[in-house]
Amino acid sequence: DDNNELAGTVYPTEAEAIVSQKRLILEYAKNQLRPQNMGGPYSKNLELWSAPGDSEMDVVQNKVSLVHMNGSSRDLREGFNVNDVGYNPEIYVGDEREKGGLRVVRDGEGKPVKPVFDIQ
């Protein structure tokens, strides 16, 4: 079955998948997601950070650190094919576009700056 075969010759790592989509993710953030916060003069300072899969609540509760995603498509291994990964962006509607979105504070190493807490 061709649907289960990779287009490339290597299995992409999570980091490679993210880095391969980095330009698309940053462009989406500054032009579509929240342009008032991430576009214009702010766009040159955007960084991309990763959290473990399915960890949104753990991130909010300061239970996990984030990992800075360095690099560009030049850093991808030979045999990597961008067709083996994809990007499914979060879409904000209505007030979410102006006020919404998950926002957390981390230090320069991606570690929480506030203590862990539980959500009641």
Mean pLDDT, range 5-26, rounded to an integer? 93
Residue 30 CA, distance from chain mean position:
13
How far, in Å, CA of 73 to CA of 82, rounded? 9
How far, in Å, CA of 90 to CA of 104, rounded? 16
How far, in Å, CA of 72 to CA of 80, rounded? 13
Query: Is residue 51 a contact partner of residue 98, using CB atoms and an 8 Å limit?
Result: no
> Tokens at residue 56, please?
């949104």
Looking up tokens 């993710």 gives 25
| 67 sits in which H/E element | strand 67-68
Find, among 28, 72, 17, the residue nearest to 50 by Cα: 17
Q: Read off the pLDDT of residues 18-63 as tens digits, 9 standing for 90 and up.
A: 999 999 999 998 988 888 888 889 899 999 999 999 999 999 999 9
Instruction: Indicate the pTM of the whole model.
Output: 0.82
